[in-house]
Amino acid sequence: MASAPQQSLPLFYNRIEPLSSQQHAEFRVRTTDKAGFLAKQHAVPVTVEEFPLVQRYMPIVFSVGEDPVPLALMGLNEGVNTFFDEEGKLLEPNFYVPAYVRRYPYLLARLRPDSDELSLCFDPTSDTIGAFEEGEKLFDNGEPSELTKNILQFNEQFEQAGARTAMFMKELQELGLLIDGEVSIQPEGAAQPFVYRGFMMVDENKLNELRGDQLRKIVQNGMLPLIYAHLFSLSMMRDIFGRQMRMGKMPEPQLVNPA
């Protein structure tokens, strides 16, 4: 049976296996209200299409390194998620769950490094897909079921959104708008502020100093509202800080280290 490359697996994935009408003819998908893999995850990748929704609930920052990606922070410290409990169950219904989370355990992957063709794969260690007696079928008489077609369509849309996000990030870098981020929070009664670093953010001063042609370009290609969604979302750092305090998950004045 063909298998997808296992090296450098994406976040949450333990293994990747191509979905096959022969090998997985009897597989079904069962629903769950728990995402155990998310319980202690404090940062999740997001796409630019999600910025308007994400910024209402979580701060959007960018990872450090040569190829930064947008991240939604669910906690300010590693191992802390303020929106999901220890079993991975959502604590409140009014919340936007990023597409990266909703995609799991599926993804599109290249099975051969010499080919650009993407195949629908899944993580066989997930407890939501398998040869169960209950659940929705993935195949009917050897053909993809409506569920499988919808899963494939969602993953194709996610890949397209990922490509647009990569273009957005490339443009931010070329314009020199990204700087090392730092947020200082001084809670009442604390002797010292809690300082968080280890992420990147857009420099508002550099944004305001863009040349006319540069500014015109990011207005025309739709980047400007996305940049402001990111900047506005940073105020949510204090909300996440407060959530950690109320949950008894005392924030520590150290690096956020998203990703």
pLDDT 10s digits, 31-43: 999 999 999 999 9
How many helices (H) and strands (E) in the chain?
A: 7, 15
Confidence of residue 258 (pLDDT cuts 50, 70, 90): very low
257 lies in a domain? no
Placement of tokens 């739709």 in the chain: 222
Output the pLDDT for position 51: 98
Q: Rounded to 10 degrees, what is the CA torsion of 208, 210, 215, 217?
A: -150
Mean pLDDT to the nearest integer, 122-132: 96
Confidence of residue 192 (pLDDT cuts 50, 70, 90): confident
State the total domains in the chain.
1
194 lies in a domain? yes
Other CB atoms within a 10 A radius of the CB of residue 126 amount to 19
241 lies in a domain? yes
Largest CA distance in the chain: 67
Mean pLDDT to the nearest integer, 123-142: 95
253 lies in a domain? no
Output the pLDDT for position 76: 92
Asked whether the whole model's pTM tops 0.75, one would answer yes
- Residue 204 pLDDT > 50, yes or no? yes
- Residue 255 pLDDT > 50, yes or no? no
Mean pLDDT to the nearest integer, 169-176: 97
Output the pLDDT for position 253: 56
Output the pLDDT for position 231: 97
Which of 147, 128, 144, 48 lies closest to 88, judged by CA? 128
146 lies in a domain? yes
Mean pLDDT to the nearest integer, 96-122: 92
186 lies in a domain? yes
* Domain of 177, in residue numbers: 17-246
187 lies in a domain? yes
The share of the chain scoring above pLDDT 90, in percent, equals 82
Output the pLDDT for position 3: 35
Confidence of residue 209 (pLDDT cuts 50, 70, 90): very high
Residue 135, classified by CB atoms within 10 Å of its CB into exposed (0-12), middle (13-18) or buried (19+), is middle
Output the pLDDT for position 190: 75
The share of the chain scoring above pLDDT 70, in percent, equals 94
Each residue's pLDDT tens digit, 44-95: 999 999 999 999 999 999 999 989 999 999 999 999 999 999 999 999 989 9
Mean pLDDT to the nearest integer, 22-32: 95
Output the pLDDT for position 257: 47
Output the pLDDT for position 251: 65
Answer for the pair 43, 218: CB distance below 8 angstroms, yes or no: no
Token pair, residue 214, equals 């540069």
139 lies in a domain? yes
